[in-house]
Structure 1
Amino acid sequence: MIIALPTRDGNIDDHFGHCDHYTLITLDDDKNIVSKERMDSPEGCGCKSDIAPVLAMKGVKVMLAGNMGQGAVNILQDNKIQVVRGCSGDIDVVVEKWLAGEIKDELIICDHHDCDHH
Protein backbone atom coordinates (compact mmCIF):
# COMPACT_ATOMS: atom_id res chain seq x y z
CA MET A 1 0.00 0.00 0.00
CA ILE A 2 1.17 3.53 -0.70
CA ILE A 3 0.12 6.55 1.33
CA ALA A 4 0.65 10.16 0.28
CA LEU A 5 1.24 13.19 2.48
CA PRO A 6 1.21 16.80 1.25
CA THR A 7 4.54 18.03 2.61
CA ARG A 8 6.40 21.25 3.33
CA ASP A 9 9.62 21.31 5.38
CA GLY A 10 9.08 17.76 6.70
CA ASN A 11 5.60 18.55 8.01
CA ILE A 12 2.07 18.06 6.72
CA ASP A 13 1.33 21.09 4.58
CA ASP A 14 -1.79 22.76 5.92
CA HIS A 15 -3.35 22.75 2.48
CA PHE A 16 -3.23 19.82 0.09
CA GLY A 17 -3.65 21.93 -3.05
CA HIS A 18 -0.65 24.18 -2.42
CA CYS A 19 1.90 21.81 -0.91
CA ASP A 20 5.59 21.95 -1.79
CA HIS A 21 5.63 18.23 -2.66
CA TYR A 22 4.04 14.91 -1.75
CA THR A 23 5.81 12.30 0.32
CA LEU A 24 4.86 8.81 -0.86
CA ILE A 25 5.36 6.06 1.68
CA THR A 26 5.16 2.42 0.67
CA LEU A 27 4.05 -0.10 3.28
CA ASP A 28 4.42 -3.87 3.12
CA ASP A 29 1.59 -6.28 4.01
CA ASP A 30 2.52 -6.00 7.71
CA LYS A 31 2.32 -2.18 7.49
CA ASN A 32 6.07 -1.70 7.81
CA ILE A 33 7.56 1.23 5.91
CA VAL A 34 9.59 -0.09 2.99
CA SER A 35 10.30 3.10 1.12
CA LYS A 36 9.75 6.84 1.10
CA GLU A 37 9.95 9.05 -1.98
CA ARG A 38 9.36 12.67 -2.88
CA MET A 39 7.00 13.58 -5.70
CA ASP A 40 6.89 17.23 -6.73
CA SER A 41 3.46 18.81 -6.78
CA PRO A 42 2.12 20.51 -9.89
CA GLU A 43 2.14 24.29 -10.23
CA GLY A 44 -0.97 26.06 -8.98
CA CYS A 45 -3.85 24.53 -7.11
CA GLY A 46 -3.49 20.77 -6.72
CA CYS A 47 -7.23 20.22 -6.75
CA LYS A 48 -7.44 21.60 -10.30
CA SER A 49 -4.45 19.65 -11.56
CA ASP A 50 -4.34 16.03 -12.62
CA ILE A 51 -2.60 15.04 -9.37
CA ALA A 52 -5.31 12.60 -8.22
CA PRO A 53 -5.06 10.24 -11.22
CA VAL A 54 -1.27 10.53 -11.14
CA LEU A 55 -1.24 9.51 -7.46
CA ALA A 56 -3.70 6.68 -8.19
CA MET A 57 -1.49 5.40 -11.06
CA LYS A 58 1.45 5.35 -8.63
CA GLY A 59 -0.64 3.10 -6.34
CA VAL A 60 -1.63 5.63 -3.66
CA LYS A 61 -4.56 4.35 -1.59
CA VAL A 62 -4.60 6.89 1.27
CA MET A 63 -4.00 10.66 1.48
CA LEU A 64 -3.08 11.90 4.97
CA ALA A 65 -3.73 15.64 4.74
CA GLY A 66 -4.40 18.80 6.70
CA ASN A 67 -7.16 20.90 5.17
CA MET A 68 -8.79 20.19 1.84
CA GLY A 69 -11.77 21.47 -0.09
CA GLN A 70 -14.67 19.16 -0.90
CA GLY A 71 -13.83 19.33 -4.62
CA ALA A 72 -10.39 17.87 -3.95
CA VAL A 73 -11.86 15.22 -1.64
CA ASN A 74 -14.31 14.20 -4.38
CA ILE A 75 -11.57 14.00 -7.02
CA LEU A 76 -9.33 11.89 -4.79
CA GLN A 77 -12.19 9.59 -3.79
CA ASP A 78 -13.23 9.24 -7.44
CA ASN A 79 -9.69 7.93 -7.98
CA LYS A 80 -10.12 5.39 -5.15
CA ILE A 81 -7.90 7.32 -2.71
CA GLN A 82 -9.15 7.41 0.89
CA VAL A 83 -8.83 10.90 2.36
CA VAL A 84 -7.91 11.52 6.00
CA ARG A 85 -8.10 15.24 6.89
CA GLY A 86 -7.01 17.04 10.03
CA CYS A 87 -3.43 15.76 10.12
CA SER A 88 -0.65 18.10 11.22
CA GLY A 89 2.97 18.09 12.27
CA ASP A 90 5.96 15.96 11.34
CA ILE A 91 5.09 13.52 8.55
CA ASP A 92 6.90 10.59 10.21
CA VAL A 93 4.89 11.10 13.42
CA VAL A 94 1.64 11.40 11.42
CA VAL A 95 2.36 8.09 9.66
CA GLU A 96 3.16 6.37 12.97
CA LYS A 97 -0.06 7.65 14.55
CA TRP A 98 -2.14 6.66 11.50
CA LEU A 99 -0.63 3.17 11.51
CA ALA A 100 -1.45 2.90 15.23
CA GLY A 101 -5.08 3.84 14.51
CA GLU A 102 -4.80 7.15 16.34
CA ILE A 103 -5.77 9.34 13.36
CA LYS A 104 -9.22 9.40 11.78
CA ASP A 105 -10.69 11.74 9.15
CA GLU A 106 -11.80 14.93 10.90
CA LEU A 107 -13.97 16.02 7.94
CA ILE A 108 -12.26 19.42 7.80
CA ILE A 109 -13.26 21.30 4.68
CA CYS A 110 -11.24 24.26 3.47
CA ASP A 111 -13.06 27.25 1.99
CA HIS A 112 -10.50 30.03 2.41
CA HIS A 113 -8.42 30.02 -0.74
CA ASP A 114 -8.67 30.82 -4.41
CA CYS A 115 -9.73 27.42 -5.72
CA ASP A 116 -13.25 28.47 -6.61
CA HIS A 117 -14.95 25.09 -6.77
CA HIS A 118 -14.62 24.23 -3.08
Structure 2
Amino acid sequence: MVVAITYDKETGNVGQHFGHADFFKLYEIENGRIMDSAVVAPFGQGHEAVASTMDDYSVSLVICQNIGDGAMQALSAYGIAVCPNVEGLADDAIEAFMQGSLLIENAPNCDCDHGAGSCCGGESSCGSTCGGCCH
Protein backbone atom coordinates (compact mmCIF):
# COMPACT_ATOMS: atom_id res chain seq x y z
CA MET A 1 0.00 0.00 0.00
CA VAL A 2 1.26 3.48 -0.86
CA VAL A 3 0.19 6.42 1.33
CA ALA A 4 0.88 10.02 0.29
CA ILE A 5 1.06 12.89 2.77
CA THR A 6 1.08 16.55 1.74
CA TYR A 7 4.55 17.60 2.80
CA ASP A 8 6.32 20.77 3.90
CA LYS A 9 9.96 20.02 3.09
CA GLU A 10 11.29 22.73 5.39
CA THR A 11 9.56 21.53 8.56
CA GLY A 12 8.67 17.90 7.86
CA ASN A 13 5.05 18.75 8.69
CA VAL A 14 1.88 17.73 6.89
CA GLY A 15 1.36 20.43 4.24
CA GLN A 16 -1.65 22.72 4.40
CA HIS A 17 -3.31 22.45 0.97
CA PHE A 18 -3.71 19.33 -1.17
CA GLY A 19 -4.18 20.99 -4.57
CA HIS A 20 -1.33 23.44 -4.04
CA ALA A 21 1.12 21.03 -2.44
CA ASP A 22 4.70 21.48 -3.64
CA PHE A 23 5.66 18.08 -2.27
CA PHE A 24 4.24 14.80 -1.05
CA LYS A 25 5.97 12.24 1.11
CA LEU A 26 5.14 8.76 -0.12
CA TYR A 27 5.29 5.78 2.21
CA GLU A 28 5.20 2.19 1.02
CA ILE A 29 3.62 0.09 3.74
CA GLU A 30 3.67 -3.69 3.84
CA ASN A 31 2.59 -5.94 6.71
CA GLY A 32 2.24 -2.96 9.05
CA ARG A 33 5.77 -1.70 8.40
CA ILE A 34 7.19 1.17 6.37
CA MET A 35 9.25 -0.45 3.66
CA ASP A 36 10.30 2.71 1.83
CA SER A 37 9.63 6.45 1.67
CA ALA A 38 10.38 9.23 -0.80
CA VAL A 39 9.58 12.90 -1.25
CA VAL A 40 8.13 13.72 -4.68
CA ALA A 41 6.77 16.78 -6.44
CA PRO A 42 3.40 16.61 -8.21
CA PHE A 43 3.28 16.80 -11.99
CA GLY A 44 1.54 20.20 -11.93
CA GLN A 45 -0.70 22.27 -9.68
CA GLY A 46 -4.42 21.99 -9.02
CA HIS A 47 -6.52 19.09 -7.87
CA GLU A 48 -6.75 17.30 -11.24
CA ALA A 49 -2.97 17.32 -11.83
CA VAL A 50 -2.18 16.34 -8.26
CA ALA A 51 -4.78 13.54 -8.24
CA SER A 52 -3.29 12.22 -11.48
CA THR A 53 0.15 12.26 -9.85
CA MET A 54 -1.22 10.22 -6.94
CA ASP A 55 -2.61 7.67 -9.40
CA ASP A 56 0.74 7.50 -11.23
CA TYR A 57 2.42 6.55 -7.93
CA SER A 58 -0.30 3.95 -7.12
CA VAL A 59 -1.37 5.85 -4.00
CA SER A 60 -4.26 4.26 -2.06
CA LEU A 61 -4.63 6.95 0.62
CA VAL A 62 -3.86 10.66 0.91
CA ILE A 63 -3.32 12.24 4.33
CA CYS A 64 -3.58 16.04 4.39
CA GLN A 65 -4.69 19.09 6.36
CA ASN A 66 -7.15 20.82 4.00
CA ILE A 67 -8.91 19.57 0.90
CA GLY A 68 -11.86 20.85 -1.09
CA ASP A 69 -14.70 19.11 -2.84
CA GLY A 70 -13.14 19.31 -6.32
CA ALA A 71 -9.99 17.60 -5.09
CA MET A 72 -12.04 14.98 -3.25
CA GLN A 73 -13.94 14.22 -6.45
CA ALA A 74 -10.71 13.98 -8.47
CA LEU A 75 -9.18 11.54 -5.97
CA SER A 76 -12.41 9.55 -5.74
CA ALA A 77 -12.38 9.10 -9.52
CA TYR A 78 -9.05 7.26 -9.08
CA GLY A 79 -10.31 5.26 -6.10
CA ILE A 80 -8.02 7.07 -3.65
CA ALA A 81 -9.24 7.49 -0.06
CA VAL A 82 -8.58 10.65 1.98
CA CYS A 83 -7.81 11.35 5.61
CA PRO A 84 -8.09 15.15 6.10
CA ASN A 85 -7.61 17.40 9.15
CA VAL A 86 -4.19 16.01 10.02
CA GLU A 87 -1.49 18.30 11.43
CA GLY A 88 2.01 17.82 12.80
CA LEU A 89 4.95 15.85 11.48
CA ALA A 90 4.32 13.67 8.44
CA ASP A 91 6.26 10.80 10.02
CA ASP A 92 4.03 11.00 13.10
CA ALA A 93 0.94 11.01 10.87
CA ILE A 94 1.94 7.80 9.09
CA GLU A 95 2.63 6.13 12.43
CA ALA A 96 -0.80 7.23 13.69
CA PHE A 97 -2.38 5.79 10.54
CA MET A 98 -0.61 2.46 10.98
CA GLN A 99 -1.77 2.34 14.61
CA GLY A 100 -5.36 2.94 13.49
CA SER A 101 -5.83 6.32 15.15
CA LEU A 102 -6.54 8.34 11.97
CA LEU A 103 -9.99 8.31 10.41
CA ILE A 104 -10.51 8.04 6.68
CA GLU A 105 -13.30 10.55 6.17
CA ASN A 106 -13.46 11.10 2.40
CA ALA A 107 -15.13 14.45 3.02
CA PRO A 108 -13.89 17.92 2.06
CA ASN A 109 -12.87 20.31 4.81
CA CYS A 110 -12.25 23.87 3.84
CA ASP A 111 -11.91 26.37 6.64
CA CYS A 112 -10.26 29.16 4.65
CA ASP A 113 -11.74 32.62 4.25
CA HIS A 114 -12.23 32.86 0.50
CA GLY A 115 -12.44 36.64 0.51
CA ALA A 116 -9.53 38.99 0.01
CA GLY A 117 -6.28 37.42 1.10
CA SER A 118 -7.65 33.89 0.87
CA CYS A 119 -5.44 30.84 0.66
CA CYS A 120 -5.75 31.21 -3.12
CA GLY A 121 -4.06 34.59 -2.93
CA GLY A 122 -6.99 36.13 -4.74
CA GLU A 123 -6.08 34.21 -7.91
CA SER A 124 -9.22 32.10 -8.03
CA SER A 125 -12.90 32.78 -7.73
CA CYS A 126 -13.49 29.87 -5.41
CA GLY A 127 -16.79 28.18 -5.87
CA SER A 128 -16.89 28.60 -9.62
CA THR A 129 -14.77 25.83 -11.09
CA CYS A 130 -12.97 24.27 -8.18
CA GLY A 131 -15.81 22.63 -6.29
CA GLY A 132 -16.18 25.39 -3.73
CA CYS A 133 -12.61 25.39 -2.49
CA CYS A 134 -9.23 26.08 -3.99
CA HIS A 135 -7.45 23.13 -2.39
Q: Identify the TM-score tier after normalising by the shorter chain.
A: 0.7 to 0.9
Q: Aligned runs of 1:43-62 on 2, under 5 Å?
A: 43-44=44-45, 46-47=46-47, 49-62=48-61
**Residues 43 and 50 of structure 2 are in contact (CA less than 8 Å); yes or no, is this contact kept in structure 1?**
yes
Tell me, which stretches of 5 or more residues in structure 2 are unaligned?
none
Which structure features the higher share of helix residues?
1
Q: Deviations over 1:52-82 (max 9, x none)?
A: 1221121100000111001101101111110
Structure 1 residues 99 and 64 mapped into 2: Cα distance closer, same or farther (>3 Å)?
same
Letter in 2 for 1:36: S
Quote the residue 2:3 is aligned against: 3
Letter in 2 for 1:78: A
Quote the residue 1:33 is aligned against: 34
Identical counterparts, % of pairs: 24
Give the 4+ runs in structure 1 shifted more than 2 A. 41-44, 105-108, 111-116
Q: Alpha-carbon deviation of 1:108?
A: 4.9
Which structure features the higher share of strand residues?
1
Quote the residue 2:100 is aligned against: 101
What's the RMSD between the two structures over aligned residues?
1.8
Query: Structure 1 stretch 73-82 or stretch 105-114: which is displaced more?
Result: 105-114
Quote the residue 1:67 is aligned against: 66
Q: Alpha-carbon deviation of 1:4?
A: 0.2
Query: Structure 1 stretch 17-26 or stretch 88-97: which is displaced more?
Result: 17-26
Structure 1 residues 91 and 105 mapped into 2: Cα distance closer, same or farther (>3 Å)?
same
Q: Alpha-carbon deviation of 1:105?
A: 3.8
Q: Deviations over 1:21-46 (max 9, x none)?
A: 01110011x121010011113454x3
- What is the distance in 1 between the residues matched to 2:4 and 2:24? 6
Q: Tell which structure's C-alpha radius of gyration is larger.
A: 2
Structure 1 residues 58 and 41 mapped into 2: Cα distance closer, same or farther (>3 Å)?
closer
Tell me, which stretches of 5 or more residues in structure 1 are unaligned?
none
